[in-house]
Amino acid sequence: MRHSGRNACFFRYYNSMTLQYDEIDQTLISLLSENARLPVATLARRLNLARTTVKARLERLENNGTIAGYALRLGSAAQQRLRATALISIEPRTSAEVLSRLKSLPAVETVHTASGRFDLIVQIAAHTTEELDETLDRIGEAKGVKSSESLIHLSTKFDRRR
């Protein structure tokens, strides 16, 4: 069905907001997942499309939130070696204070809220055992922390983010 005038703008807008992907979008996303630094010209060649078409598709995928950004993934030589997870129980109504303290610790990478026995799941990455120990001590002594348990990661069997 072909639309013209003001209706065409509406249908183009509506279709871009429904987040439906065709095979070309999926292939484009797959190529970028493998190497986000591929030039538009290379993407266009691999997709057998014009550069302007690929650029328009990229802009649409960025604008609708499918592509949130292009990030650097460090290789194993540059990654921090020691990783740990801290499971934290906090006192009622102290989450803002505890989160503020966790944000101030450079080795703390992420903090997730959780259901169950623990309130927070904290991901930590440290260069040395001393830095890891110091970070865990600071977490444990933070005002509002009722208890904590730490799990040191020994090895990574697989990581879907890479």
Q: What is the 3-state secondary structure (H, E, C) of 48-68?
A: CCCHHHHHHHHHHHHHCCCCC
Q: Are residues 92 and 40 part of one domain?
A: no
**More confident: 55 or 81:** 55
What per-residue confidence (pLDDT) applies to 18?
Answer: 56
- Looking at the structure of the chain, the number of domains it has is 2
Half-sphere exposure of 38 (CA within 13 A, CB side): 21
Q: Residue 156 burial by CB count (10 A; 0-12/13-18/19+): exposed, middle or buried?
A: exposed
pLDDT tens per residue, range 152-162: 999 888 887 76
In a domain, 70, yes or no: no
* Confidence category of residue 6, pLDDT binned at 50, 70, 90: very low
**Tokens 């429904």 sit at which residue?**
18
What is the Cα–Cα distance from 149 to 88, expressed in whole angstroms? 7
Are 146 and 115 part of one and the same domain? yes
The CATH number of residue 133's host domain is 3.30.70.920
Residue with tokens 């249908």: 11
Across all residues in the chain, what is the average pLDDT?
Answer: 86
Range of the domain at 53: 5-63
For tokens 């070696």, the residue is 81
Residue 9 pLDDT more than 60?
Answer: no
Distance of CA 95 to the CA centre of its chain: 23
Q: 50, 60, 51: which is closest to 22 by C-alpha?
A: 60
